[in-house]
Structure 1
Amino acid sequence: MDDGSTDGTGELLARYGTRVRVFHQRNAGQGVARNLGIREARGDYVVFLDSDDLWPPWTLATFQQVLQSQGPLTLVMGRAHAFQDARELSVLEDGPVTARRFDDYLASADATFIRTACAVAVRTEALRRVGGFSDRRVSAEDYDLLYRLGVEPGFAYVESPVTLGYRQHATSSSRDLDRGYEGTLFLLEQERRGHYPGGAARRRERLAMLLFGLRHVTHWLLEHGHRRQALALYARGLRFHRVLPRWRYLLGFPPWVLAVSLRSRR
């Protein structure tokens, strides 16, 4: 998918001739671009790779092996390795494939691993059934998709080998912070409106993942001096934390904001 790029992507891909199908559109955001790819997909599964991330050579073979060995699956998520310089990935090694299977994505709520839609293989039919990605320009469109796939049967997480180089940019711009804030609000609003599957019976699992992300973003905002946004997001999450409280965070975050504020005035 070429989402209106101006960096020579089209010319580069044209060198591959008919071996690669390329679809072009005016810049409309990554959700819209991915959805066009989903509509045009011919295979049983769709795999995503963001422009700034990298796959080691064995990624697709690893996904294929997990799909063949773990039984019917809707979603396979690979293990990510954070990096800033591509040379850091030279330490990665292919090896025996191990994966942990869950009944569905929501059932993995208590597991701890990096969750991102740029490290997944998803059954094409399921992607189309849930409507693909949101077309809104929010940074959380991948999490939103994962929640909407939450009760589709069969989810596996690849514990080894690493299948994604997940690029961490050396500097965080204020735009990224704003998008993180707005994306988290979007996810909470989707949950409040009942747009995620599983109903009341699976609410605690959804909230376990949603609130983990919220706590991470509020810490991130505060560390970069965005105190008002951090407090606003903390307040918006209170109604959800009443269902699944984390007292250390709930009681400790406001004093931390105050302490940071006082330090900044010195």
Structure 2
Amino acid sequence: MKLPLISIVTPSYNQAQFIAATIDSVLSQDYPNLEYFVMDGGSTDGTIEILKSYGAKINWESNKDAGQADAINQGLRKSRGEILAYLNSDDIYLPGTLKRVGEYYARTQADWITGDCLTIDESGKPSKNNWLISGYKRFLMALYSPLTLRIADSMLPQPSTFWSRRAFKQVGEFNEKYHYVMDYDYWLRMAKYYRPHDLKTVLSGFRTHAGSKSETSRDQLMAEALLALKANGTKSWQITLHSLHSGLVRFIYNLLK
């Protein structure tokens, strides 16, 4: 079986505490056909020294950028892979992830591939409520349709989602006006042409910590999600359902903290 070249991009800015774990999770994959780019936005916290320590094992550069989506786009423009993805600088891939994705693509030529995701804490351990979070995402994926995607923005776990170069050419680059929901906007655009293939296995770890956007910018995230929905032609009643769902999820999350 000929395995496709997989290109991974890590956008980075001042995540020295976690970025080595992210890089190691990529480099330790049992996958022979990989290219990896770290696009750093000019970190000042020791990240550059960490990147230098990897030598020729990674492709990286550090320059001021226009934000996370810009950094992702810069990396994707450099890429050559048949399969594309980005992994944030505080998240990780689980062992065997790229092999599972590559082999599935080789068999099916699927243009959009996703899987499960663990929620992990600062030390990398699964969060105590992971069973509930993962179970709910599994429930949502079982109900997937372009409509349910518009109602539940947390349906597809970003670090566990991959897409083909064909899809990239069809959908285009990430929208750089978004700083919190560039992934959700991309899934909404992708859903106009493709349906995600769910591997139904855990592929990544999504890290929650005091400095993460998901913890510090929830109001901005929800506001941007509404903008993305409107930009993608979502009807007003669907936006209302999305807001109700997001509010309920946020309420339950706060109860469990």
* Fold shared by both chains (TM-score > 0.5): yes
After superposing the two structures, state which structure 1 stretch, 12-21 or 137-146, moved more.
12-21
The corresponding residue for 2:90 is 52
Judge conservation of contact 2:189–2:232 (CA < 8 Å) in 1.
Answer: no
The AA in structure 2 aligned to 1:215 is L
Where do 1:244-263 residues align within 5 Å? none
* Of 120, 124, 127, the match for 1:83: 120
Listed one character per residue, the Cα deviations across residues 97-137 of structure 1 (whole Å, up to 9, x for unaligned) are xxxx99x9739859x98413322111124224322111014
Alpha-carbon spacing, 1:149–1:184, altered in 2? closer, same or farther (3 Å): same
SS at structure 2 position matched to 1:81? strand
SS at match of 1:122: strand
Within-5 A mapping of 1:8-47: 8-47=46-85
How has the CA–CA distance of structure 1 residues 73 and 154 changed in structure 2, closer, same or farther, with 3 Å as cutoff?
farther
TM-score, reference length from structure 2: 0.64
Query: Which residue identity is paired with 1:145?
Result: Y
Q: How far apart, in 2, do the equivalents of 1:37 and 1:128 lie?
A: 15
User: Structure 1 unaligned runs (5+)?
Assistant: 91-100, 195-202, 226-266
Deviation at 1:52, TM superposition (A): 1.7
| Uncovered stretches (5+) of structure 2, i.e. residues with no partner | 1-38, 128-140
Q: Deviations over 1:74-102 (max 9, x none)?
A: 11112111122435249xxxxxxxxxx99
RMSD of Structure 2 on Structure 1 (CA):
4.0
Larger radius of gyration: 1
* Distance across 2 between alignment mates of 1:74 and 1:35: 19
TM-superposed CA distance for 1:186, in Å, is 1.1
Q: How many Å separate the matches in 2 of 1:214 and 1:191? A: 16
Asked whether the equivalents of residues 5 and 27 of structure 1 are also in contact (C-alpha less than 8 Å), the reply is no
Residue 111 of structure 2 corresponds to 74
Deviation at 1:26, TM superposition (A): 0.4
SS in 1 for 2:245: helix
The equivalent position to 1:7 in structure 2, one of 16, 20, 45, is 45
Q: Does 1:164 align with 2:193?
A: no
Residues 148-168 of structure 1, C-alpha deviations (whole Å, 9 max, x = no match) = 1113345311212x1111123
Matched, 1:124 2:165: yes
**Which amino acid letter does the alignment assign opposite residue 166 of structure 1?**
F
CA distance in 1, matches of 2:79, 2:251: 41
Structure 2 CA distance, aligned partners of 1:178 and 1:157?
A: 29
Instruction: Please give the alpha-carbon distance, in whole angstroms, between the structure 2 residues aligned to 1:154 and 1:222.
Output: 30
Q: 1:145 aligns with which of 183, 186, 203?
A: 186
Hey, which of these two has a bigger chunk of helix by percent?
Answer: 1
Aligned length: 202
Contact 2:149 2:155 in 1 (8 A): no
Q: Which of 206, 225, 231 pairs up with 1:190?
A: 231
Deviation of 1:49 after TM superposition, in Å, equals 0.8
Hey, what's the Cα distance between the residues in 2 that align with 1:164 and 1:120? 9
What are the superposed Cα offsets for residues 143-185 of structure 1, whole Å, 9 maximum, x if unpaired?
100111113345311212x111112336998851221232122
Within the alignment, does 1:64 sit opposite 2:102 as a pair?
A: yes
**Structure with higher strand content:** 2
Aligned residue type for 1:79 = D
SS in 1 for 2:43: coil
Residues in 2 aligned to 1:181 and 1:84: alpha-carbon distance in whole angstroms: 22
